[in-house]
Amino acid sequence: MLLVTTETIEGKELESLGLVKGSTIQTVNAIRDIGAGLKTLVGGELKRYNQMMENARDIAVSRMISEAEALGADAVVGVRFTTSSIMQSAAEVMAYGTAVKLK
């Protein structure tokens, strides 16, 4: 499945099949969250949160691709990500775009 952030694919004519999206809500465990809270006092990278968000993006993209495949798409154009805080230590990640058939 071709995924692009642009609205077009150079040299290709596209037939729009509709919006596709995938999302997930992820959290880290409470003990790691306490450690991350302490890390904010001294500064530095929150590696567990980076890993959580990377995993969440992968899941969201996989779910978006599944929706696109169900529509018979060859690609998804205009791919975007959005995140939102659901509660302390939990974040939703959504990937979305337009499923297209290449002509």
Residue 94: which domain range? 2-102
Measured from the Cβ of residue 99, the count of other Cβ atoms closer than 10 Å reads 25
- Looking at per-residue confidence, does 32 or 67 come out higher? 67
Nearest partner of 64 among 15, 11, 4, 6, judged by Cα: 4
Short-list 50, 51, 58, CA closest to 24: 58
If one counts the domains in the chain, the total is 1
CA 16 to chain centre: 21
Q: Which two tokens stand for residue 33?
A: 């969250």
Full-model pTM: 0.84
Q: What is the CATH number of the domain that holds 78?
A: 3.30.110.70
pLDDT single digits (tens) 18-65 = 999 999 999 876 555 555 555 555 667 778 888 889 999 999 999 999
